Structure 1
């Protein structure tokens, strides 16, 4: 009896340790069997929901390939953007898939996988009209040009009337006749004198008339120069609209963007005048309609949305600035970080990746 008690006392601690070890392993075994929770926020073309309720996009196609390689089941959880970040930080979701920019602030809150997409800000401009003879003629019919011509005609008429008043009695052969004929002769003289053509068919003979002629000759030089500048401005106004060739040309223009984004922060830091819009479509349409001169936003998102715009699309300048990296986000210390990062590299280095990107952006990036 005493020996039996001694054996139990010896065995029980070992059994207790075994049970404790199994209890520690149980959560891990259960979690391994549970599907991963994949948080998403719709942001075309990286994350989009189809009419059938399925998910597609650059990031979703990437994750589908990663999930297949990891041989893990997963469920997609749609969340608002701020909730998505919060639940990654708390560990309520296992991985966040979307267009998440890697930043130092976010790195302190959760972990990132290897980046899968490099992007940055780009500039969108109104589509430049084709240069042609018809386009030049349309420019000549602009309100700016017509108003200059009307003002010039008014000045010629005033000078012609003044000269006629002093010459109609002293020089009736050239400026006589009815009022309309006399004023017409004065208008003709003012025009040929201003253009320095000087046909010589009409000339003032009175002292005041010749003094007016002398003053008008010098004033005509200025008038011709101003008129030439007005014509040049009218013919090149379409080219002036597209003087923006890069971010260095943005000061002095009104730029459209989206509130609370990296693009707004960029414009604010450089003190560039801008207007914010609630969504990308409205911002791009403001440029197409001429309400703003350009738009600054994420290149990939703007490039995709440009394909959806009705009518005239914008011209998106080549190249990016203020570069950004997109990555998948995981809770800090997640055991998935290593395997997921490894698969991100394998997928993005495969030939399928360029086809995935071009499928949504219209061309290889």
Structure 2
């Protein structure tokens, strides 16, 4: 019996050691796939306000702030290297770097070559132009097809209303129809209809026939809405005419000289819509070309355009540039990640938590406050 106990005790110790040997590594690998002592190779490119690259060592901006917070949460060691956009995406796809950070739009074409993190910023493409001079703006407004259509509707409505009231009232209403000749009375009828449309219904008691008074009440119900609608259309037409009447929607870019950043989603959008355009290396290069008159419009991501034009105006340049009020081609920014990345899951979890933080909202306010 004593011999059996002496054999059982060493076996129990052996099984305990074996269990500890198996369980400890499994637990450590399941909590974090990132090797803490490894150096993460990060690529970026200059894209204010998301990445602002002042010199070789100084990186600031929204995306840099987001990455620094993620690296801090995951206890990562990393180094950042600057790339042009095309080379950055190639470096991630070829495994030369582990991650690309900037204002990188998530697209199906890019997804075929590399992976992306969850989106951290949603935006759209926008168009920037130079304001026209007053004379050119007036000419464009007067030749605006929408304005001409509205004026035609106004004149037709005035003629119709004036004709109806003339038929009902001209024989018995000397106050409204005082001219002696028939053509002059027709003119009076048209003026009455025009005043009715632009000014609103006349006083009920101005008309002597029952039909005229009933018609006045009926028109009064609809005239306020009609005048409000016409006013809104005219206001929109005049506003857009002062901005740039040659561009009513993105398809109008086919008729003017347009610039876009090389290998960007804006360039891809123009190519997909068969719009010939000139490619530039940076947004700054495009704005310089727009200022010099080499191109007539710039297409790029909305926050990037607005931020750079705002900063330029603070320096006293590009004061005539504006971003048109058109939203199209939604964009989602994410981190470009190498295929089968071992740290994608941890990175996404950290990203989602930081996006919900007060620090992230404060950073957004810092960079985008006072941007029209």
Q: Residue 126 of structure 2 aligns with which residue?
A: 122
Deviations 1:240-282 (A, max 9, x none): 9434233143342222223333222322332334333443223
Work out whether 1:46 is the aligned partner of 2:50.
yes
Distance 1:351 1:253, change over 3 A: same
RMSD: 4.2
CA displacement at 1:341 relative to structure 2: 0.9
The alignment partner of 1:244 has SS state of coil
Task: Find the counterpart in structure 2 of residue 262 from structure 1.
Answer: 265
Tell whether the 8 Å contact from 1:127 to 1:312 is kept in structure 2 after alignment. no
Tell me if the contact between 1:66 and 1:343 (Cα under 8 Å) persists in the aligned partners. Answer: yes
Q: State the aligned residue count.
A: 255
Q: Do structure 1's residue 314 and structure 2's residue 317 form an aligned pair?
A: no
Q: SS of the counterpart of 1:352?
A: helix
1:298 maps to 2:310: no
* Cα deviation, residue 136, structure 1: 6.1
Q: TM-score w.r.t. structure 1 length?
A: 0.57
Are 2:366 and 1:359 aligned?
Answer: yes
- What does 1:264-283 correspond to in 2, within 5 Å? 264-283=267-286
**Alignment-derived partner of residue 242 in structure 1:** 245
- Residue aligning to 2:230: none
Distance 2:353 2:309 in 1: 30
Paired with 2:137 and 2:320, the residues of 1 have a C-alpha distance of 22
- Whether 2:291 is the aligned partner of 1:284: answer no
Q: Which runs of 5+ in 2 are unaligned?
A: 1-13, 140-240
1:111 alignment partner in structure 2: 115
Q: What is the alpha-carbon distance in structure 2 between the residues aligned to residue 77 and residue 320 of structure 1?
A: 33
Q: C-alpha deviations, 1:85-143, integer Å up to 9, x for none?
A: 344234443322112221223323332111011222111121355xxxxx569999xxx
Matched, 1:335 2:342: yes
1:87 and 1:349 mapped to 2: Cα distance? 30
Encode CA deviations 1:199-218: one digit per residue, 9 max, x unaligned: xxxxxxxxxxxxxxxxxxxx
C-alpha separation in 1, matches of 2:83 and 2:260:
24
| CA–CA distance in structure 1, aligned partners of residues 136 and 251 of structure 2 | 32
- Work out the CA distance in 1 between the residues paired with 2:360 and 2:60: 14
Instruction: Note if contact 1:122-1:321 (Cα within 8 Å) is conserved in structure 2.
Output: yes
State the match for 1:186 in structure 2. Answer: none
| TM-score normalised per structure 2 | 0.56
Output aligned runs, 1:1-365, within 5 Å: 31-51=35-55, 53-129=57-133, 239=242, 241-309=244-312, 310-363=317-370
SS at match of 1:271: coil
Residues 136, 104 of structure 1: alpha-carbon distance in 2 compared, 3 angstrom cutoff: closer
Deviation at 1:363, TM superposition (A): 4.2
CA, structure 1 residues 239+290, in 2 after alignment: closer, same or farther (shift >3 Å)?
farther
Q: Is the 8 A contact 1:256 1:284 kept in 2?
A: no
